Structure 1
Amino acid sequence: MGTHKALYLLALLCSSTMVQSAEISAKKNQSGQVVIRITGEIKSEDEERFRALSLQHPKAVVQLQSSGGALVPALEIGRIIRIAGYSTVVLQNDTCVSACAVIWLGGRARYLGGRVGFHAAYRDNDGLLKESGAANALIGNYMTLLGLPSKAIVFATAAPPDKVLWLEAANKDVSGIDFELPLQPPSMQISPASPVPSIPFPSPLSTRSPQNTDVEIIDSKELEIAGARYVTYTFRYRGFVLRRNLEEPENAKAELKEFIDSQIKKEDGWLVYGTSGSFKSDDFTFYYINSDSIRRKNSVTEVWVKENHKYNKKLKHREDLIFYKVYCNTRELSILEISKIDASGKIIKREYFDDVKERVIPGRMDEVLWETVC
């Protein structure tokens, strides 16, 4: 049996029954929100089906109901969910166990109304379940890349293959896995014939974005260009430090706020924070920061950055999606993940890296990123 097929995470309650193949579908609920639903056993190539569907829906929430399945595709689906910025949810009376729970962890925000359970990964050798150290290492690496603490990895792999450790409000702090309760009434459930209920999805300007929505002007410098008066503002807004020129501003704070909000809305949550290169040298690149992905823990900031190479003729791919860890106090940063995307929106290469800190170099775009988020 191949590695992909051997690494299975099956729920104890389904160990003696045949589980239906996973169904992956997307539909809009009554409020127009896209819900991608995954039900049934996770199998090889399900990750490609999910990736193809995710490319059609830049904004969505993933609802899960599954007893588990193959680990490798589950890990990949979880990574796609995190890159896309999707939330994950398990509704009341629904169950999400083992490989499904691994997928659920990938949510940028996690909602738990039903039951989510974990156990160690294992190999099924003719009915004999043997714990797999290699598979558990894959889970540990995945959870580390998601920014989860060591105690969360221990929690997720503590139960033996024939047991399930359920995540509940009572052990939330012990588990190290953060989640919220869904906002819909507990009685609302999904059935094949019923409409998809409204599930909370963080918009680009959601409550999970930095809370301060007042513009704080840090510095301003006047300059004159072709007879017109401009002011260069350095300002803080929604947790970012940004710069922008305004021509003869009447109400600088209102104009800066309106510009940033309109740009975030237009770019589906992405905000330009800098450029590099030039059109003349055919290497012009736009740099975006995802306003909804930023997370701060003490002096460390985690954030997704997009490099758009549409006008960079020296590169064959269109975009890079990069997951940064920025250490504000020590002026260091590390890159944990890079996905290269072609003009059609397809991920053509994905790389993962260890958390190796590098000093911020003055005058480069990493310094602009550090100044923007710190």
Structure 2
Amino acid sequence: MKNWIVVGIAFASCLLLPKAGTAEVQFEAATTPDGTVIVAQGDFANGQNFARFERLVQSSKATVVTFNSPGGNTFAAMEFGRLIRSLGLSTVQLRAAECASACALAFMGGVQRFADPGSIGVHRSSFSAEAGMDSRTAVSAIQSATADMITYMIDMGIDPGLLQVALKYDSDDMRYLSSSEMTQYRLTQITAALPRVPVPVPAPARRTEPDQASSVGMAGLVRHPRGQIELKSGPDEATQALARIKNGAPVQIIGDDNGWYVVRYSNLQGYAHHTWLMVEGFATREFDKKYIQIKSFLKYSDAASYVRNSPIKLKAFLATNGWYAISLAEPVSSSMAVDLIKELKAQRLVPDDAFATYGNNYVKLACCQ
């Protein structure tokens, strides 16, 4: 039972507190040849009222929900998942969009569930000191929340063992699940009745910044919070490990496969995820420093507006997945990152799901000089 106490905060960046300064998840209906889909976009907020979503389902006769969400409040996400189940809706997640952290819990509500490999992200989060609880009260609260989460997952037909996967990845990292893992933990459960068709997601606005140049032919250095990576035999975390490569080791990028680099290391050729390598020519150039990422946007206009209206100095970087990552303007040493995040959260200057990252997937500065 002790392990469950720790992993009970795995899927949300702030388990017990509402997120500061973030908008509630919004809903939009989109028509496809196979029926109507509702896109849920944004952060799940504590105490959010989902009445508009329910009305939209009834008026549009939608049968499927898809997500563009980096997470949010765990309890709100579970409430939304239960509503999805009660309305008999299915959930579909494509890699072109994002469903990470607490969003994974909302996705579980689907009567039938389909997700592309690498489209659902989980990680371990730290318990926020902002709750103002003593240690005994905090442990009790985590136990209660963990029990709620495990009950929810069982009710949704999900193997709670999935929490243990999340436990292995710190809050400054994100674990995107492979197809085999989704099947193993019953996260995906689909029949032939649910069409595997492209699900519309809000399209990016026309960018004022050019798209990233190809990384093929570039050199890279291994840079991972755990100090090493496994060179994989395929573009999937579950594939065979060909070798273990320590931080700082050079590799050559010879291809790109939807979020994974094809790399050459020594006499081996294999795969390394975009977030594992510091790429020559990308925005991040200081090996031992991290960025404090606080937000991400699909549209350049949204990212630029957020940066320009922030009370603190921020930058937006075009990332390898096509999103715009918002971070503090300057990186800090790895040893300072954790304390800085705690201080900024305590002052409510950054959202509760802000995290430290090497920014390996930051291709170029998009906004603002």
Query: More strand by proportion, 1 or 2?
Result: 1
The two structures share one fold, judged by TM-score above 0.5: no
With CA pairs under 8 Å and 6+ residues apart, which has the higher RCO, 1 or 2? 2
- TM-score with structure 1 length normalisation? 0.41
Find the structure with the greater CA-based Rg: 1
| TM-score for both structures, normalised by structure 2 | 0.41
